[in-house]
Chains A and B, each alone.
Chain A
Amino acid sequence: DAGVTQSPTHLIKTRGQQVTLRCSPKSGHDTVSWYQQALGQGPQFIFQYYEEEERQRGNFPDRFSGHQFPNYSSELNVNALLLGDSALYLCASSLRRGNEQFFGPGTRLTVL
C-alpha cells in the first residue's frame, strides 16, 4: 500500500524565483492538503484540493497556488519567493475530505 510521496526531497532557490512541489496521495485517497512547517513550529495549513478544486485556504498570500490532477496528485506553486518561505512543505492526503490526514515526508525548501 503506497503511502504519500513528495518530490523533490530538497530544493534550494533564490529570492524572486518560482518553485513547484509535487505530491502523490496515499493509494485510495482523493483529497490533498498542503502545509508549511517552519523550524520549531507545527504545520500551518495552506490549502486543500478535492475534485480538482481548491476547497479551503489558510492565511497564505496569492503567491501560493496549487493544482490537483485527475489522478488526485497535486502541485504546490510558490511565486516570487521570499526568504521567509524557507520551510518544510508537507502534503497530506485523506478520503473525501476526511479529518484523518496522512502526511508525506515533505520537501525542504531553502530560499537564499
Chain B
Amino acid sequence: GQQLNQSPQSMFIQEGEDVSMNCTSSSIFNTWLWYKQDPGEGPVLLIALYKAGELTSNGRLTAQFGITRKDSFLNISASIPSDVGIYFCAGVPGANSKLTFGKGITLSVRP
C-alpha cells in the first residue's frame, strides 16, 4: 500500500532554533496535512494543503505542498518548549478522505 516517509525518526534542537521536516511518497497525493501529537492525546491538525506549490502558515508554522505532489514540508520557526511532540504528515490520494500517515518525527527542544 501507499506509504509516507518521514525521517529522521527523532530531531533534537535548541530553543529558539528553526527546524524543517519533510514527508515524501512514491505516489501522488491531492491533499497534505500536518498533525502534532502529544503523549496520550490524539493528533491535532496543524495545517492542511490542497494545491501543488501551496505555501500556508499557521503562526510560527509554515508548510508547503510540493510541486510534484509527492512531498510536503513543514517548518517551525523560533522553536519553544511546547513544540515538543510527534509530528505526522498525512496524505489523501484522491477524492476520498482516507488519510495515509507517515511514522512521525519526534521533536525535542532543549531549553
Are A and B genuine complex partners? yes
Write the residues of chain A forming the contact surface with B, with a CB cutoff of 8 angstroms: 4, 31, 33, 35, 40-45, 48, 56, 58-59, 90, 92, 94, 97-106
Given contacts A99-B48, A101-B45, A103-B42, 14 further A-B contacts (CB under 8 A): A31-B97, A41-B103, A42-B4, A42-B90, A42-B103, A43-B99, A45-B100, A56-B98, A59-B1, A90-B42, A92-B42, A92-B99, A99-B50, A101-B99
CA distance A58 to B104 in the complex (A): 20
CA distance A102 to B36 in the complex (A): 12
CA distance A21 to B4 in the complex (A): 28
Minimal beta-carbon separation of A90 from chain B (angstroms): 5
Write the residues of chain B forming the contact surface with A, with a CB cutoff of 8 angstroms: 1, 4, 31, 33, 35, 40-45, 48, 50, 88, 90, 92, 96-104
Majority SS at the chain A contact face: loop
Q: Tell me which residues across on chain A come within 8 A of B90, comparing CB atoms.
A: 42
CA distance A92 to B43 in the complex (A): 9
Q: Tell me which residues across on chain B come within 8 A of A31, comparing CB atoms.
A: 97
A100-B33 contact given A33-B97, A42-B101, CB 8 Å threshold: yes
Minimal beta-carbon separation of B13 from chain A (angstroms): 21
A48-B97 contact given A42-B88, A99-B92, CB 8 Å threshold: yes
Number of A-B contacts (CB under 8 A): 65
Q: Of A33, A45, A100, A103, which contacts B43 at CB under 8 A? A: A103
CB pair A106 B41 closer than 8 Å? yes
Minimal beta-carbon separation of A73 from chain B (angstroms): 16
